[in-house]
Structures are given as structure tokens and as C-alpha cells.
Structure 1
Amino acid sequence: MKKLISGLLVLSALAIQAPAVCAQPADSENARFNQGTDQQQRIDLNSATVEQLITLPGVGQSKAKAIIKYREEVGPFLEVAQLTQVKGIGEKMLNKIEGYVQVR
């Protein structure tokens, strides 16, 4: 019994002294986006290149090209929510990237 109690005391002491680690979920897709979301750092949908668009979470080469194709065929984006009219971009994708884009 003494060994059990002393073992528990040692474990408790170690737990108290151990630094607290605040782990954030590692979302590999969003890990590369440590930038803030203020207006100066957002990508303008009406002038963005393929290279800029593929830096957005979940946007690869084909979606970036689809965004540019839509822009060329329909005209400039009037609002970010208009992205859902681009083939391959739905509400879920919009929610992922809306903080990283803007329309000027």
C-alpha cells in the first residue's frame, strides 16, 4: 500500500511540474496558412493568378483554373460568396477559404 501511495505521489508531482501543452488540431491543409485575415493579406479574386489561388486551403491547380475561367467568362466577382457558382466549389469550400480572399 505504501508503494502505491508513494507511486501516486510521484506521478502527481510529475504531472504538476510538467509544462502544459496547448495543442491545436493539426489540419495539414490549413497548416500553411499562418497569415492573418486582414484586408491587406487577402487574395483578390478578381486579379489573383493560379499561383496565388493554389495557396488557398483546398484549392489545387484545377480549382484555381476554374476560378479564373469563371472570372473570364462571367466577369469580375461582385462578392466572395459568388465562388459557389464556380464548378467544384460549394458552401463547405467557401467556408474554408472566405477568410483568405476578398473582392475589390
Structure 2
Amino acid sequence: MKKRLTGLALFLAIAAQSTAIAFEELEENQNASSYHEMSMEKIDLNSASIAQLTTLPGVGSAKAKAIIRYREEVGPFLEIEQITQVKGIGEKMLAKIQQHIEVK
């Protein structure tokens, strides 16, 4: 009985910690998105950092890294629509972020 209670207590502690971490990440993402929505500046795909790219709607760190990787391997973006050549970004994603991005 003691082993079961100890195991249950350990499980609950891990679950509570995981939930707290998830809420912190959600809050960070919401703050970044809110910051970009308040800013009128467009993000330049050719110079944006991971932090800047993750402020775009629907762009997390994996997509931001893919954008930068594409930029490093292929060269600078020549037009906004070229972002659909990045793995994981299609026409729907382009429609979400198009008003927030530019190519200089």
C-alpha cells in the first residue's frame, strides 16, 4: 500500500510540474504573438532571427529554424511566396503570415 501511495505521489508531482511548464510555454508564445500583433513593422524573411519569426501566427521554433536553414542553404528570399518552399509551410500558412512578412 505504501509503495502505491509513493508511486501515486511521484506521478502527481511529475504531472503537476509538466502542467506548469506547459502553461509557461503557452504564456511565452502568447506574449510573443501579442508583441508582434501590436507592432506594425513587418518581419524581413532575409534577416529575421528565430525569436522574431516565432512571433508570426502559427510559426514555432521548428518552422523558424526551417526558414533560417532554407535561407542559409538556398540563399535570400526573392519574394514572399517563396516561403512555401520551406518544409512545413504551405499556402494556408502563407495566407496567415503574408501580411506580417516582407522581403528586403
Q: What TM-score comes out, normalization by structure 2 length? A: 0.65
Task: State the one-letter code of the partner of 1:62.
Answer: A
CA distance in 1: counterparts of 2:39 and 2:49, whole angstroms: 18
Q: Which runs of 5+ in 2 are unaligned?
A: 1-29
Deviation digits for residues 31-71 of structure 1, max 9, x if unmatched? Answer: 722444xxxx0000000000000000000000000000000
Task: State the one-letter code of the partner of 2:58.
Answer: G
Structure ID, larger Rg: 1
Q: Which runs of 5+ in 1 are unaligned?
A: 1-27
Structure 1 equivalent of residue 81 of structure 2: 81
Identity across aligned pairs (percent)? 63
CA distance in 1: counterparts of 2:58 and 2:81, whole angstroms: 16
The structure in which a higher percent of residues are helix is 2
Structure 2 equivalent of residue 49 of structure 1: 49
CA distance in 2: counterparts of 1:60 and 1:87, whole angstroms: 13
Please list every run of at least 4 consecutive aligned residues from structure 1 whose deviation after the TM superposition is greater than 6 angstroms.
none
Q: RMSD of aligned C-alpha atoms? A: 1.4
